[in-house]
Structure 1
Amino acid sequence: MVHTGRQWHPDRIDFAEVGGELALVFHRESRVYSVDTDQITDSLITAYRRVLNPDKLVRV
């Protein structure tokens, strides 16, 4: 993990289907803050993606 010196805590975390995949949806101040998805291959996490772009999060 990379330490940026900033920490925040979401108000709520939900599971949702995004793009046909299971995702974690993080809420902060009553808005969607980020959406995280992962890719699993042979029981291993091979990719972890986080979307923070507000323009893309409007559809969630």
Structure 2
Amino acid sequence: MKKVIQYDPSSTFSYNLLGEIYTKNHDYEEAIEVLLKTISIQLTLENLNNLGVCYYKNKEYFHR
């Protein structure tokens, strides 16, 4: 996937998919970094949802 990103660094699909792979492997810090990059290229509901899932699974949320 990283080679695809090198070939086309503006492909949000590739970044988003890489973020999902990191999430599945419980590597939330890497997933968050990649998904933030994706959002900086193009903001979509899918990207925001995946980022939210990473923050939740990484226990990065506020308690009231």
- The TM-score bracket by the shorter chain reads under 0.3
Larger Rg: 1
Q: TM-score when scaled to structure 2? A: 0.21
Q: TM-score when scaled to structure 1? A: 0.22
Point out the structure with the larger helix share.
2
Structure number with higher relative contact order (C-alpha < 8 Å, ≥ 6 residues apart): 2
